[in-house]
Chain A
Amino acid sequence: MELTQAQKEILEGKKGETLAKVMKTLVMYGEAFDAAKMVEVTSDYNHLVTSFGLGVMDPVYELMDTLLSQNVVSKQKFTVDPRPLDPNVPSNFLQNIVFKHFMYNKQDFYEKQLQKLGLLEKDAFTCTCYMSEVGNTPKYGEVLSWSESSAVVYANSVLGARCNRNSGIIDIMGSIVGYVPYFGLLTDEGRKADWIIRIETSRKPEAQLLGSAIGMKVMEEVPYVIGLDKWIGNELNEEACTYLKDFGAATASNGAVGLYHIDGLTPEAKKFGRSLIKENAKEFIITDEVLQKTYDEYPIVWKDKEAKPKLCFMGCPHMSLQQLKDWTDTIEGKLKENGNGQVLIPTVFTASPAVIREFKKTSYWPRLEKTGIVLSYICPLMYMNNPLCARMRVITSSNKLRTYTTSRYYTDPEISDLLCKGGH
């Protein structure tokens, strides 16, 4: 890899041994992908995946301490994934003890570390940092050192920023030296599509199922989707962005997609059109049958498949302000229709602290509260990622949550029926 004089000096230790090790890490990481150079990180803020003070991650906290003790800290402020705990979320006595005193016993310590390392503000914990209420929204063409797969795929695809699917720790190291290795999704060639996906469904595809089907097919390659603008329009308005948030998270969790293009909608597809498609690109046609098959093949890992759900989680990734408003209307209407006052299954809607703050200013908040639904900033994935919750019968319309936990997937209309009407 060819380095500039300034980068060489860092690598040679002229700015300290610890900073040299950080640079060495990034150079080795880049060389594995034949990166020819390092390029400057140009976004205002970073976003990190490691939000949890998990006792088991001691080596990570020790590494952070090493960085702090040498004053090797991030040049950028950053947001970070959601907190793993929220006292508002239903949990039993045993879970409370295990969560607070055993699993996440390092949470307070780690949050203090994050503040010293450059946390944007004390509540900057969300996976949807790119939402306007949060304010970490990169501009077109900016180079990022982010992690969190759902945020990376959104930033690349919907905002046109440039970021690889980085791991935790690598994310902050890019911010510390101010450079990232130039390979993959940072390059023009790496952003070209390996796949043409044609949407030939008779109705608007469920975002989660569509993302899941495409992710499983293309894995880490780049898809160019033709025919979706017919269903979600040619404008990146709030409704389309919310759809793409959930679609992208599903492509990134069932596959490892870091970038997709939507013909006639996403910025690079609008700018460059079908010249983004590589010669000899493979093709995959999405029909109603393909989506139904995707749904039917989701494994249900509950012991008793007929048992009543214990909890419903909505918002993985975190919900947008519009989603919270739309769901309030839906739930309120369906409860009334079925003669019920409150939801029949304990339910948690999750959103970023910033979106929750805005939502609570609206007239929707008392209406949602009345339905019995809990509003939380928690990470449902972190809540469930332990042996106690693994046995809980949780339902969700998030493909990401379904993929990583024992939760069971239902479509949005099915979820609203289960919450308001009951049955199974």
Chain B
Amino acid sequence: MRQFKGRIVTPGTCTSEAVVTRQGFNTLASLQKALQFGDKSAKVNDQNNPDLYGKPIAGKALCLPQTIGSTTGGLVLYCAAQMKRNPSCMLFSNRIDSLACAGAVLASVWSDTSMPVIDELGDDFLNYVKDGMKITIKEGGIVEVE
């Protein structure tokens, strides 16, 4: 088990299973099909992302460097949260980008869904974490990986 400390973007605690992308997460390309066609597990449909393509992310701890793509990204994350198809938490190795941050904040202020978001966990975090590992977010931006 290893512990990492990051910066809290939106608060909360949770325990869930990791799903990991080492390249940027294209929010619109990944989630549009799942939201459009009623896929509650939110399988990623971005063919340009071999780390995640076809994998469900609803209720999982999404570990990523940053998000990329359309400036609709924030509102797509917000919609996923409102439809309960969002990741249980988002863990960024880098500082969060403006689009993901918008999604996290919109979900926090305008929906009942809790989706804790921690950033600046470092490259070491993203190198260590693997799909299926157990993630626990504790108070103070502490993330345990086992």
Contact residues of A with B, CB < 8 Å? 21, 24-25, 28-29, 32-33, 49-50, 54-60, 62-63, 103, 147-149, 152, 164-170, 184, 220, 256, 299, 301, 385, 387, 404
- Any A CB within 8 A of the CB of B133: no
Q: How far is the CA of A329 from the CA of B108 in the complex (A)?
A: 53
Contact A50 B72 (CB under 8 A): yes
Which B residues touch A32, using CB under 8 A? 9, 96, 101, 105, 119
Q: Cβ of B82: which chain A residues have Cβ within 8 Å of it?
A: 58-59, 62
Q: How far is the CA of A63 from the CA of B74 in the complex (A)?
A: 14
Q: Among B14-22, B54-62, B63-71, B122-130, which stretch is in contact with chain A?
A: B63-71
Closest residue of B by beta carbon distance from A20: B109
CB distance from A369 to the nearest CB of B (A): 33
Question: Pick the contact of B99 from A103, A165, A299 — CB < 8 Å?
Answer: A165
Decide: A147 near B109, CB < 8 A? Known: A169-B78, A385-B32.
no
Query: Interface on chain B toward A: helix, strand, loop, or mixed SS?
Result: helix
Q: Report how far A84 CA is from B82 CA in the complex, Å.
A: 24
Residues of chain B in range 31-55 having any CB-CB distance to chain A below 8 Å = 32-33, 35-36, 47-48
Known: A49-B72, A169-B75. Contact between A28 and B108, CB under 8 A?
yes
11 CB-based A-B contacts, threshold 8 Å = A25-B109, A28-B10, A32-B119, A49-B70, A59-B78, A62-B82, A63-B110, A165-B99, A168-B72, A220-B97, A387-B33
With contacts A167-B75, A167-B99, A385-B32 known, what are 10 further pairs, Cβ within 8 A? A25-B110, A32-B119, A33-B98, A50-B75, A58-B82, A166-B71, A166-B98, A167-B103, A385-B28, A404-B70
CA of A178 to CA of B138 in the docked complex: distance in angstroms?
A: 37
A147 cross-chain contacts in B, Cβ below 8 A: 71
In the complex formed, the residue of A with least CB distance to B26 is A404
Q: Which residues of B contact A54 (CB under 8 A)?
A: 36
Neighbouring B residues of A50 by C-beta, 8 Å? 72, 75
A299 to B109, CA, bound (A): 40
User: Are B102 and A166 touching (Cβ within 8 A)?
Assistant: yes
A-B contact count (CB 8 A): 95
B109 and A60: CB pair below 8 A?
no
Take A59-B78, A167-B75 as given contacts and tell me if A404 and B69 are in contact as well, using a CB distance cutoff of 8 Å.
yes
Interchain CA distance A147-B70 in the complex, whole Å: 10
Contacts of B119 in A (CB 8 A): 32
A164 near B106 with CB under 8 A, answer no
In the complex formed, the residue of B with least CB distance to A151 is: B71
With A25-B105, A59-B82, A404-B70 as known contacts, state yes or no: A164 contacts B98, CB within 8 Å.
yes
Residue of A nearest to B108 (CB): A28
Cβ contacts under 8 Å, A404 to chain B: 28-29, 69-70
Report the minimum CB–CB distance from A184 to chain B (whole Å). 7
8 Å CB contact of A60 from B33, B69, B73, B79: B79
**Which of A24, A63, A152 counts the most chain B CB atoms within 10 A?**
A63
User: Lowest 10 A-B CB distances belong to which pairs?
Assistant: A167-B74, A167-B102, A59-B82, A168-B75, A147-B71, A56-B35, A56-B36, A28-B105, A170-B102, A59-B79
Report chain B residues within 8 Å CB of A33: 98, 101
| Residues in A neighbouring B102, C-beta threshold 8 A | 29, 166-167, 169-170
Tell me, in angstroms, the Cα distance from A25 to B119 when the chains sit together: 18
In the complex, the chain B residue whose C-beta lies closest to that of A22 is B109
| Minimum Cβ distance to chain B for residue A233 (Å) | 30
A167, A301, A385: most-surrounded residue (chain B CB, <10 A): A167
B29 CB contacts on chain A under 8 angstroms:
404
When C-beta atoms are compared, the residue in chain B nearest to A29 turns out to be B105
Distance, CA A58 to CA B78, complexed state (A): 11
User: Which residues of B lie under 8 Å from residue A60 when comparing CB positions?
Assistant: 75, 78-79
Q: How far is the CB of B129 from chain A (nearest CB, A)?
A: 22
Nearest A residue to B71, CB-CB: A147
